[in-house]
Structure 1
Amino acid sequence: MRGAAADANASSGANSAFADPRKEFDKKAVCGDPEQVNGIVKSGLSKADNFDTLQVGMASFHPKGGGAALYKNVFQQALG
């Protein structure tokens, strides 16, 4: 992703930035403390979750509210 941002800047004169969120999520992902990423979510299935055997919702492995705040912090630091 860092390379894609650099390529976009070089080829089109864009002013894109890359922000690596891995440090912010260290020990805070699934089973972390505090856990900021959903594990397997079985509730709230939508029509897009049309699996006959898995029954895993689309929110699985996506950030919780606190995880979204971690992303926000990283992006603000990169843009600041």
Structure 2
Amino acid sequence: MSNDASCLNRVPGFGISPEESQWLNSVGDYLAVEMFDVADVLRKRGVDVGYANPQAFFYGKAVCGDPETIHGIVTDLTTSDKPQVDWPFFTFGTSAQSFHPKIAGARLYADTLEAVLGSWPKT
């Protein structure tokens, strides 16, 4: 989340509060450390593995970022989405696209991978 998820808390009592946004980001920090540690343990056991942390690439560009490279809440449903409300002339719900990368976000993940592969030990 960027900018304390300010774009998701415009209606009082709904959305994600700044505190929740900070907590979600701290979970991301925790998971990044854990994934790095797992890769480190495996590498010490002879497995040719690494971890590419994308957080720096997404700084200021996540949900509510500028530019926003990860979708916030998406209500435009695709054919594979299951609507929460499905009446004959009215459907509504949140799409599976919510909180997933946009095209620009996919590029940032690719940039992360390319940066790590460029310095991967050659054996």
**What range describes the TM-score normalised by the shorter chain of this pair?**
0.7 to 0.9
Q: Is the 8 A contact 2:42 2:49 kept in 1?
A: yes
1:33 and 2:71 aligned = no
1:23 and 2:56 aligned = yes
Larger Rg over CA atoms: 2
Distance 2:79 2:39 in 1: 34
Structure 1 or 2: more helix by fraction: 2
Match of 1:8 in 2: 42
Distance 2:79 2:64 in 1: 22
List gaps (5 residues or longer) in structure 1.
Answer: none
Residue type at the aligned position of 2:80: S
Percent of residue pairs identical: 38
Distance 1:40 1:66 in 2: 17
4+ residue runs over 6 A deviation: none
Q: TM-score, normalised by structure 2?
A: 0.55
Q: Deviations over 1:10-29 (max 9, x none)?
A: 33x21111111111111111
Deviation at 1:50, TM superposition (A): 6.2
Aligned length: 77
Distance 1:2 1:50 in 2: 37
List gaps (5 residues or longer) in structure 2.
Answer: 1-34, 86-91, 119-123
Deviation at 1:51, TM superposition (A): 4.5
Structure 1 or 2: more strand by fraction: 2
What is the root-mean-square deviation of aligned Cα atoms in Å?
2.0
Distance 1:45 1:17 in 2: 37
